[in-house]
């Protein structure tokens, strides 16, 4: 815009622009008519405002503020309602008691049968090796044969041994002949010495007399040496004669042939090293032994010999063999934590054979012991515990002492009393003193006299397999 235009008051500029009249300046000659320009029109539009514009803006701001206030109020009410619902749900959950399964504790149990797996073993068992080198000439006994002590089982041909025996006998004959020669020499030396010794003085010289005496002594020594050689050769002959007795393989006792490892013509070598093969294996099973590995928890009840036992075999259904504990190892196996127990049975009819699997039932005295299911046990770093549900519904965790672990039931020595109700598989979320709803289950520990610990431990849980109820863990410990 020019300087002349800038001197025109805005009111006149606007009026002239609206009416299209001429605008005369305040000073100077007659004013020239001004043609409306684009710039002037724009300037007029940007500076002219309506009187209602401010009121409209205020109303718009009030509407926006009202909408925002209503939105904030709605959001607040929604959040408040959600908090209220959450608090009500939490209060309802807190007032609801968790349901747990409980079983009563069995106490005052008397005699109880504990069944464990056992294995039969022979009274005697021997592996028979060859004592001489040779080859099998003939065998007379096979597996399953009952043999007597001293009975010939096989014969071994020993040509080398026979030749050595012949040679030693020949050497003995030579030694005996040498003895006779020495005896003759000694007899001559004796008579010569006696003659020179008894000769009058002056007839023979002392020198000659001493020489005859030395010859006599030498002959006596040679005779003694020859006799010693005879004894030595006789010992060699006796040795080889004794060795020839081993050409006949005989049974060391009455028993049964369990294994035969030879056949006619087999080369056998004397000895029992790893490079030599045995000829026979035999055993005696009348009487027979039964070995049982008793867990440490029950070892104290069977440590004393004489405890009665009953033995059953799966292949001999209906038969019960009775016996007593004969002896124990008197030491706990540090690897398995078990005590080796031996029971001897007469086995007169031979029904039991070595290597059989049998079930051995012990009669145990359970004085002041209490039984609970294995699922009730809780193992934590502070020790084994059980969760006892009191009559008012409160849970109390008590420390217990395990006396005997029989697999499906546990015998406790302290921590519970008869009639207590213990929870099964209690959740780790339940703390001491929490209120619960007890649901007594009919499943209870096995009654006295039928408890068995012969069951094998449950296999380790693999992927997708739940662990055994007897093995449970929580945030404080794992079993």
CA 256/CA 141 separation, integer angstroms: 10
Top mean pLDDT of 28-42, 214-228, 423-437 is at 214-228
Do strands 146-147 and 111-128 pair parallel, antiparallel, or not at all (unpaired)?
unpaired
Residue 158: helix, strand or coil by DSSP?
A: coil
Residue 65 has what pLDDT? 86
**Predicted local distance difference test score (pLDDT) of residue 27:** 42
Mean pLDDT of all residues in 420-424 = 91
Alpha-carbon distance 92 to 95, whole Å? 5
Helix (H) or strand (E) holding 80: helix 53-95
For residue 435, name the pLDDT band (cuts at 50, 70, 90): confident
Contacts of 64 (CB under 8 A, 6+ apart): none
- Beta carbons of 435 and 400 less than 8 angstroms apart: no
Q: How close are the terminal C-alpha atoms of the chain, in Å?
A: 97
Helix (H) or strand (E) holding 115: strand 111-128
Cis status, amide bond into 157, omega within 30 of 0:
no
**Pairing mode of beta strands 111-128, 357-365:** antiparallel
pLDDT in tens, 280-337: 999 999 999 999 999 887 787 777 788 889 999 999 988 999 999 999 999 999 999 9
Share of the chain above pLDDT 70, in %: 78
Give the chain's domains with CATH numbers: 3-47 (no CATH), 100-105+368-478 (2.40.420.20), 128-250 (1.10.287), 288-365 (2.40.30.170)
What does the pLDDT read at residue 110?
60
150-187 tens-digit pLDDT: 999 999 999 999 999 999 999 999 999 999 999 999 99
At 126, the pLDDT band (50, 70, 90 cuts) reads very high
Res 37 pLDDT > 80: no
What residues are paired with 295 via a beta bridge?
338
Q: What is the pLDDT of residues 257-274, one digit of tens each?
A: 999 999 999 999 999 988
Q: How far is CA 406 from CA 307, 333, 425, 450, in A?
A: 19, 19, 18, 11
- Give the lowest-confidence range in 286-290, 383-387, 461-465: 461-465
Instruction: Return the pLDDT at 51.
Output: 63
**What is the DSSP annotation of 324-392?**
EEEEEEEEE-TTT-EEEEEEEE--TT--S-TT-EEEEEEEEE-TT-EEEEGGGEEEETTEEEEEEEPTT
Average pLDDT over residues 350-356: 93
Q: Output the DSSP codes for 185-244.
A: HHHHHHHHHHHHHHSPBTTB-HHHHHHHHHHHHHHHHHHHHHHHHHHHHHHHHHHHHHHH
Residue 85 — pLDDT band, cuts 50, 70, 90? confident
In this structure, the strands spanning 401-405 and 111-128 are unpaired
Rounded Cα distance between 257 and 113, Å, is 37
* Average predicted confidence (pLDDT) for the chain: 80
pLDDT of residue 2: 41
Inter-residue contact 224 to 159 (CB < 8 Å): no
């Amino acid at each position: 815009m020019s300087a002349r235009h800038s001197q025109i008051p805005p009111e006149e500029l606007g009026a002239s622009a609206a009416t299209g009249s001429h605008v005369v300046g305040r000073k100077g000659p007659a004013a020239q008519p001004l043609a409306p320009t684009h710039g002037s029109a724009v300037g007029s539009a940007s500076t002219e405002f309506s009187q209602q514009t401010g009121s409209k803006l205020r109303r718009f701001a009030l509407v926006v503020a009202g909408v925002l206030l209503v939105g904030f109020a709605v959001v607040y009410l929604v959040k408040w309602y959600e908090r209220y619902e959450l608090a009500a749900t939490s209060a309802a959950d807190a007032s609801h008691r968790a349901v747990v399964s409980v079983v009563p504790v069995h106490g005052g149990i008397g005699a109880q049968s504990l069944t464990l797996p056992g294995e039969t073993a022979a009274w005697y068992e021997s592996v028979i090796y060859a004592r001489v080198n040779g080859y099998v000439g003939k065998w007379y006994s096979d597996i399953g044969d009952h043999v007597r002590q001293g009975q010939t089982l096989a014969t071994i041909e020993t040509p080398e041994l026979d030749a050595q025996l012949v040679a030693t006998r020949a050497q003995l004959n030579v030694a005996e002949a040498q003895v006779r020669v020495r005896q003759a020499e000694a007899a001559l030396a004796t008579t010569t010495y006696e003659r020179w010794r008894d000769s009058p003085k002056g007839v023979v010289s002392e020198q000659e007399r001493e020489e005859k005496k030395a010859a006599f002594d030498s002959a006596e020594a040679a005779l003694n040496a020859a006799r010693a050689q005879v004894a030595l050769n006789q010992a060699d002959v006796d040795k080889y004669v004794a060795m020839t007795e081993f050409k006949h393989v005989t049974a060391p006792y009455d028993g049964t042939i369990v294994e035969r490892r030879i056949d006619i013509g087999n080369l056998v070598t004397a000895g029992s090293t790893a490079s030599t093969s045995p000829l026979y294996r035999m055993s005696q099973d009348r009487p027979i032994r039964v070995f049982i590995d008793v867990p440490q928890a029950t070892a104290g009840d069977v440590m004393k010999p004489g405890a009665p036992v009953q033995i059953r075999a799966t292949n001999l259904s209906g038969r019960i063999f009775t016996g007593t504990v004969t002896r124990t190892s008197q030491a706990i196996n540090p690897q398995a934590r078990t005590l080796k127990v031996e029971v001897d049975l007469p086995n007169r009819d031979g029904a039991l054979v070595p290597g059989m699997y049998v079930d051995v039932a012990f009669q145990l005295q359970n004085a002041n012991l209490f039984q609970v299911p294995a699922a009730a046990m809780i193992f934590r770093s502070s020790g084994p515990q059980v969760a006892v549900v009191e009559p008012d519904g409160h849970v109390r965790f008590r420390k217990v002492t395990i006396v005997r672990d029989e697999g499906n039931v546990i015998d406790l020595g302290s921590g519970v009393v008869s009639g207590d109700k213990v929870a099964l598989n209690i959740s780790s979320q339940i703390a001491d003193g929490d209120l619960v709803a007890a649901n007594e289950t009919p499943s209870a520990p096995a009654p006295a006299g039928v408890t068995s610990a012969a069951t094998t431990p449950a296999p380790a849980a693999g992927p997708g397999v739940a662990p055994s109820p007897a093995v449970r863990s929580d945030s404080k410990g794992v079993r």
